[in-house]
Amino acid sequence: MPPSLLCQPPQHRPAVLRSTLLRLALRCGRVPANNLGKGMLVPGSEVSRQADRIFRVLSVGHVKPGKGGAFVQAKLKCVLDGTIVPHKFRSAETVETVDLDPAEDYSLLYTDGGLVHLMHGETFEQIEVPREAFGELAVWLRDGMSVRVASRQGPTPLPPIRRSTLPSRPCLSIPASPRPQHAITPQHGMASQHASDALAGVPLLFTLPPRAAYEVVETRLGSREGKTDASKPAVLSNGEALRVPHFVTVGDRILVNTEDGTYYGKAGPDEG
């Protein structure tokens, strides 16, 4: 028991103990369930019967029922196959999170079928990533775009290297659904560590530029009749539909907020 705890009056010791345990938990990569947020990564060991996976938090809701304890209702998405899993965490518990290496800069070379080809900005190493790994961001992928890629920390090396079409540049092929070599279940112990290590070095988190430029390929002429409506529908070169101001016409290049797919403004000649 920490010495500082022994110095506390008996009635204060439970609160001090909880605070001490919380600090220790945070050092071990755990956060209070109430602090879970969108985009955080949670190992499958925190989710029933999902020990060999890693999940990204899509949304969280704090629920205080009339009876029973408060809980956090989370929507989780498997980073390997896109499976959506709802899960409840007790507000009083702490949840393990997955540590990532610092994000690195890549350039998007091209998309071939379901694979996105990226090249490291410094080493020129190329990797192939399943398009579905980008989730909702996939619709905004564009050739030449800068992409920040973060991988799982750990000692396990990257998947085997194979030669790309460029002889001097090795290409890393990232499998769509990598799995540990042996089945992992919670009763084996250290399940989350094995699951996380199985994904060590595998790209897990992708960040696009906050805004990107696309050409308007379809929209109607602006009208003054709808004075209360300041926008009109439009279709972009990537097939996505959104609302734009009435002065936007076919052929214009506009900037779109990649996080929510909304109009930002007209793109300049050098903005991409």
Whether the Cβ atoms of residue 47 and residue 54 lie closer than 8 Å to each other: no
Q: Does domain 211-266 have CATH number 3.30.428.10?
A: no
Domain spanning 104-207 has what CATH number? 2.40.50.140
Work out the average pLDDT over 56-68. 90
What number of CA atoms fall less than 13 Å from residue 34's CA on the CB side? 7
Asked if 242 contacts 261 with a C-beta cutoff of 8 angstroms, the reply is yes
Per-residue model confidence as pLDDT tens digits over 127-173: 998 888 888 889 999 999 999 998 876 544 434 434 344 444 444 44
* pLDDT value, residue 30: 85
Question: Coil, strand or helix: which one is 10?
Answer: helix
Residue-wise DSSP of 195-211: HHHHTBTSEEEEE--SE
Largest CA distance in the chain: 76
Alpha carbons 83 and 55: distance in angstroms, whole number: 9
Tell me the sheet residues that pair with 151: 203
- Which is higher by pLDDT, 109 or 190? 109
User: Which pLDDT score is estimated for 197?
Assistant: 54
Residue 189 — very low, low, confident or very high, per pLDDT cuts 50/70/90? Answer: very low
* Arithmetic mean of pLDDT, 245-262: 95
User: Quick check: pTM over 0.85?
Assistant: no
Q: What residue spans define the domains of the chain?
A: 3-96, 104-207, 211-266
CA distances from 121 to 5, 125, 138, 142, 270 (A): 51, 8, 20, 16, 20
Q: Answer yes or no: same fold for 3-96 and 211-266.
A: no
Q: What is the pLDDT of residues 16-42, one digit of tens each?
A: 444 443 443 333 478 999 999 988 888
What does the block give as tokens for 186?
A: 């919670």
Please indicate whether residue 13 or residue 206 has the higher confidence score (pLDDT): 206
Name the DSSP class of 133.
Answer: G
pLDDT tens column, 191-238: 445 444 555 567 778 889 999 999 999 998 866 555 667 899 999 999
User: What average pLDDT is seen over the chain?
Assistant: 76
Q: 189 to each of 3, 184, 193, 195, how far by Cα in Å?
A: 32, 9, 9, 11
For 3-96, the fitting CATH number among 2.30.30.30, 3.30.360.10, 3.40.640.10, 3.40.50.300 is 2.30.30.30
pLDDT of residue 41: 86
Highest mean pLDDT among 5-14, 77-86, 190-199: 77-86
